[in-house]
């Protein structure tokens, strides 16, 4: 299949799990795929695997650590310096079960899953618009239904809960809100946005969960190949080409959390802009 020939995709967290399967699915359809991740060794190994599997060698690597805003800026600059179009950004990278703070001073899950993703998207979105039509896809989670809101003080402090699951769910709510507000801001540009639940997947997102518990959890999880389906659907399907800012689960649109209001999305956006400005200046 070569229906994506001439289209360029950037997939974050693409060296394993859902991200790698998303990159594989895109490459198998003829796309040029840029894989962004923290480990060059692991990402290049994934690239070789994908190339061997699909026959597509139009793959590239960009170093990216979403918890470090300087790394995010350098990654975006590297992409832009290449001078090639960028049609679709798949914000796949994320973590769960880890406790602490990012280098940039945010609760670890929130800073990695939302703040770094927000900054990367902002740095690249004008280029995506210029390359359009395009799409921006946020991999969120059904966990976004859990929070009753966002504690703006807590996201600037180290993780409090033992499992870090509550903090993870807040970060996933932020992914949904980000896609909603970004969709409103990009209306009429030819770039559409999406957030999605990939399913409960046996992927490296759970790498910091204790081994025994992690193995038990994975018995009830879907494969990474299954997990990539909704990401690929949102990134490529003509069925959703005219939709923007919506949430998907199982390749179908679904109502997001009632907490995911336009008002909260706008507030998160304003605060995220302020955080980025304060951290990068």
pLDDT digit string, tens, across residues 48-89: 999 999 999 999 999 999 999 999 999 999 999 999 999 999
Query: pLDDT band for position 278 (50/70/90)?
Result: confident
Whether pTM > 0.75 for this model: the answer is: yes
Residue 219 reports pLDDT greater than 50: no
pLDDT of residue 204: 55
> pLDDT: is 213 or 23 the higher one?
23
pLDDT 10s digits, 186-207: 999 999 999 999 976 544 554 5
Average pLDDT over residues 8-16: 96
Domain spans in the chain, listed from the N-terminal domain onward: 8-280
pLDDT of residue 108: 98
Is 250 in contact with 226 (CB distance < 8 Å)? Answer: no
pLDDT of residue 208: 54
pLDDT of residue 226: 76
Distance CA 41, CA 49 (A): 12
Longest dimension (CA), the chain: 49
Is 247 a residue of the active site? no
Q: How far is CA 218 from the centre of its chain?
A: 21
Residue 1 reports pLDDT greater than 60: no
Average pLDDT over residues 209-213: 56
Is 251 in contact with 233 (CB distance < 8 Å)? Answer: yes
Phi and psi angles of residue 88, each rounded to the nearest 5 degrees, phi first:
-140, 130
Residue 246 reports pLDDT greater than 60: yes
Q: Which has the closest alpha carbon to 21: 54, 58, 57, 62? A: 54
Is 159 in contact with 96 (CB distance < 8 Å)? Answer: no
Q: Which residues pair with 136 in a beta bridge?
A: 89, 193
Phi and psi angles of residue 9, each rounded to the nearest 5 degrees, phi first:
-120, 140
Residue 220 reports pLDDT greater than 60: no
Average pLDDT over residues 165-169: 97
> pLDDT: is 109 or 203 the higher one?
109
pLDDT of residue 72: 97
pLDDT 10s digits, 153-163: 999 999 999 99
- For 217, the 3-state DSSP assignment is helix
Architecture in CATH of 8-280 = 3-Layer(aba) Sandwich (3.40)
Q: What is the percent of the chain with per-residue pLDDT over 70, rounded to a whole number?
A: 89
Q: Tell me which of 168, 194, 233, 248 is the catalytic residue.
A: 168
Half-sphere exposure of 144 (CA within 13 A, CB side): 33
CB neighbourhood size of 39 (10 A): 14
């Amino acid at each position: 299949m070569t229906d994506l020939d001439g289209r360029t995709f950037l997939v974050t967290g693409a060296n394993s799990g859902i991200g790698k399967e998303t990159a594989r699915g895109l490459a198998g359809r003829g796309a040029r795929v840029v894989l962004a991740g923290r480990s060059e060794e692991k990402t290049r190994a994934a690239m070789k695997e994908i190339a061997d599997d699909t026959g597509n060698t139009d793959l590239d690597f960009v170093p990216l650590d979403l918890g470090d805003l300087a790394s995010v800026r350098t990654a975006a600059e590297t992409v832009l310096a290449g001078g090639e179009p960028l049609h679709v950004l798949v914000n796949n990278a994320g973590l769960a079960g880890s406790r602490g703070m990012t280098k940039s001073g945010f609760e670890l899950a929130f800073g990695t899953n939302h703040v770094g993703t927000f900054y990367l998207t902002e740095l690249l979105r004008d280029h995506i618009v210029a390359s359009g039509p395009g799409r921006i896809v946020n991999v969120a989670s059904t966990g976004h239904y859990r929070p009753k809101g966002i504690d703006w003080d807590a996201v600037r402090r180290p993780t409090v809960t033992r499992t870090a699951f509550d903090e993870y769910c807040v970060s996933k709510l932020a992914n949904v809100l980000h896609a909603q507000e970004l969709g409103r801001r990009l209306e009429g540009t030819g770039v559409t946005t999406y957030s999605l639940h990939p399913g409960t997947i046996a992927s490296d997102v759970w790498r910091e969960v204790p081994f025994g518990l992690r193995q038990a959890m994975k018995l009830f999880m879907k494969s990474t190949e299954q997990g990539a389906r909704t990401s690929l659907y949102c990134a490529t399907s003509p069925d959703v080409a005219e939709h923007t800012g919506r949430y998907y689960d199982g390749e179908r649109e679904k109502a997001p959390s009632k907490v995911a209001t336009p008002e909260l999305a706008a507030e998160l956006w304003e605060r995220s802009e302020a955080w980025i400005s304060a951290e990068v200046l």
